[in-house]
Structure 1
Amino acid sequence: MINRNDPEIGKKVLQKLAGLADQAARELGRPPVLMEICGTHTVAVSRSGIRSLLKDCLVLKSGPGCPVCVTDQSDIDRIILLSRQPGVVIATFGDMLRVPGTYSSLEQERARQAKAEIFYSPLEAVDFAEKYPGEQVVFLGIGFETTTPAIALSIRQARKQGLPNYSVFSINKVVPPVMKVLLSDSELGVDGFILPGHVCTITGRKAFDFISAEYNKPAVIAGFEPVDVLEAVCLLLKQIIERQARTVNGYTRLVQEEGNKKAREIMNQIFDPADVYWRGFGLVEGSGLKINRDYADYDASLRFPVEIDTVSSQSNFGCACGDVLKGKINPGDCPLFAKRCTPLWPVGPCMVSSEGACAAYYQYELS
């Protein structure tokens, strides 16, 4: 098996890539522009130095691949209000604690006696609810197709155990609808897409066929080691040179044509599609997942309804996370980057999340 971290293999692929990038640039009349649609790819590209290695031959943008980052400001504000409800314990992945809402964050609320616990899986939160029957445990359902099956399982497990004190505040999203919004943006100017390997293990390759079939853009599903990413870029450049548009599976060791049908069945048992807001994109049809009527007892938004003024719910002044997520600008183009906005004092979620583009650029690419 190939060691996809091997620097020597990486050098050989990089040499091939440089020649392909030169050909693609001649074909286009400019350097090719590619976009990764996964926060883990963003981190991998920055950490390995791939972005800086390729900067002279192509442009590599970051897209809306971080679930925490794309969570709309109004949803963050709802979570803050939810944490203030008597008897509620917010159960969450760690990144959410420090995401700034309009007026507060979960971290600040916890300092004011709100209860918020970090868990590494939703099933741990179910165990916590069983252990503390006097607490109303609300798990924050944040993630794409990769994490949603586990959240669905937690709801099913809570019902099986007869737990009346467990619920989920679902802000789960799916990737294909927001891809269609990106592809419909005539100003974006992206020539090809690196697709998220983790998401595609659930959806399968076919779920992203529309990128090439309907929008005539090349797309490649990639793994997360440096050689994986470089090979995906090569496959995209070949398509650009040959004037082709196909959705190619470059992560065949894990991604199948149809994906994980069982995981999708579990999701479909618990969730229905919903129109939801994304940071930077506004309302995206069919891109969210709401808990269906059969499991409505476990829907925290129904159990603990909170009202916010969506007009006053807005990103912190000057934060450009929305433009970063759409690929309109790079993190370094934001006037707050590395000045008012740092990992220690983040202004927006892209600097908070471990998968955020701003955090990755700050840690690995700031010169």
Structure 2
Amino acid sequence: MNSFDAFKDPALCRALLARLTGEADAPLRFMEVCGTHTVAIFQSGLRALLPPTITHLTGPGCPVCVTHESEVACFLDLAGRDDVVLATFGDLMRVPGPKGKNLKTAKADGARVEVVYSPVDALAVAEANPGRTVVFLGVGFETTAPAVAATIKLAREKNLRNFRVLCFHKLVPPALEALLSDPDINVDAFILPGHVSAIIGAAPYAFVAEKYRVPAVITGFEPLDILAALLDITAMRKANAPAVKNDYTRVVADAGNPVAMAVMDEVFATADALWRGLGAIPQSGLVIREAFADFDAMRLPGVSLVETPPLAGCRCGEVLKGKLSPDGCPLFAKACTPATPVGPCMVSTEGGCAAYYKYRLDL
């Protein structure tokens, strides 16, 4: 058994699950805020095995899902320009926008849309298209922002003035604050995102326990990681001693990754941002600093965020806030499926609706 298999060991999982079942004697509603955790909890079967006192909520941890309707409309507008090539990760291609449009249909209509596997790949697209403006769609959390920041610096070094980034990166801790300050959202504990925490560490989450008295655990993505986190949460609640605990020490340092945070801070500044379902959250997004303004797609003529109505019938916003289970949406598994997604939570493989659809046994 290698070191990774140990975190999936069936005997250990059964032992931890039995212990959790014995100790979880009070109702507990926990939320994870990472798309990889969403998939891991469903894929491993843990969600179906949790004791009846524990309720799992999927939160705003899928970067594609939280991209606001106005932001989708903005990059679809850019796709319609003859002098623009959009470079994007593939999971944005089918995100629905106004009037049923998405990047896939835009490409079918003649838009230049290139799927890339890293932001650096977008630089090669810019080099190959000197007569066009190549815009990389910067969507994601703290996990991907350092790589985008480093790519902007590299573009400046290469003097690639036809390369721009449409920066819609978002920050997780302010979203947690928004959830906790909403009286209509009942969350007893958080499983915190492993990938994001590898960049920012544990300190930015301190307010969760100190201000709101809610326990939170940073953990990995294997079954034992998740079960151990739930045991820690249960113990903290019983002792009335909420804290932010780092159980993912094999990857996450309490201080985070100072090199990654430094490059983020050099290129980006924090600003208010729009989140699907959560609306405007203060200081929850990143914008490109003035020193790198030549690489900011938002400074192109005619580019702006305009008010865009939510997708008709889509309940993704409520799912992202933990107020609605995916199967509580009237469109789920009917009009809205992975083959015919109405909203982004069914598009992304990390979306709560897509995971719920894929791993349910009663469909």
User: Match for 2:245 among 238, 243, 248?
Assistant: 248
Task: Identify unmatched segments of 5+ residues in structure 2.
Answer: none
TM-score with structure 2 length normalisation?
0.96
Give the aligned partner of residue 71 of structure 1.
Answer: 67
1:58 aligns with 2:54: yes
Task: Identify unmatched segments of 5+ residues in structure 1.
Answer: 26-30
Maintained 8 Å contact 1:82/1:304: no
Maintained 8 Å contact 2:71/2:305: no
Give the aligned partner of residue 229 of structure 1.
Answer: 226
User: Match for 1:7 among 4, 7, 10?
Assistant: 10
Maintained 8 Å contact 2:273/2:280: yes
Partner amino acid for 1:321? Answer: C
- Alpha-carbon offset, residue 187 of structure 1: 2.4
- Alpha-carbon offset, residue 131 of structure 1: 2.7
**For 1:282 and 1:14, how far apart are their aligned partners in 2?**
37
Give the aligned partner of residue 148 of structure 1.
Answer: 145
* SS of equivalent to 1:319: coil
When structure 1 is superposed on structure 2, of 119-128 and 141-150 the one drifting more is: 119-128
Maintained 8 Å contact 2:165/2:295: yes
**For 2:241 and 2:322, how far apart are their aligned partners in 1?**
23
Give the aligned partner of residue 354 of structure 1.
Answer: 349
Q: What are the Cα deviations for residues 101-131 of structure 1, in whole angstroms up to 9, with x where unaligned?
A: 0121111110100011111110111122123
**Quick one: percent identity of the two aligned structures?**
47
* SS of equivalent to 1:215: coil
Partner amino acid for 2:275? Answer: W
RMSD of equivalent CA atoms: 1.2
* SS of equivalent to 2:231: helix
User: Match for 1:35 among 6, 9, 31?
Assistant: 31
User: Match for 1:16 among 16, 19, 32?
Assistant: 19
User: Match for 2:312 among 317, 322, 340?
Assistant: 317
Maintained 8 Å contact 2:229/2:247: yes
Q: What are the Cα deviations for residues 311-365 of structure 1, in whole angstroms up to 9, with x where unaligned?
A: xx12221100000000001101111100010001100000001110000001112
**For 1:216 and 1:192, how far apart are their aligned partners in 2?**
9
**For 1:246 and 1:309, how far apart are their aligned partners in 2?**
40
Q: Size of the alignment, in residue pairs?
A: 358
**For 1:50 and 1:342, how far apart are their aligned partners in 2?**
23
Maintained 8 Å contact 2:202/2:255: yes
TM-score with structure 1 length normalisation?
0.95
- Alpha-carbon offset, residue 188 of structure 1: 1.6
- Alpha-carbon offset, residue 96 of structure 1: 0.5
- Alpha-carbon offset, residue 304 of structure 1: 4.4
User: Match for 2:203 among 203, 206, 222?
Assistant: 206
Give the aligned partner of residue 28 of structure 1.
Answer: none
Give the aligned partner of residue 344 of structure 1.
Answer: 339
**For 1:68 and 1:55, how far apart are their aligned partners in 2?**
31
Maintained 8 Å contact 1:315/1:348: no
Partner amino acid for 2:9? Answer: D
Partner amino acid for 1:285? Answer: P
**For 2:318 and 2:93, how far apart are their aligned partners in 1?**
23
**For 2:126 and 2:168, how far apart are their aligned partners in 1?**
20
Q: What are the Cα deviations for residues 190-215 of structure 1, in whole angstroms up to 9, with x where unaligned?
A: 11100001100111111111100111
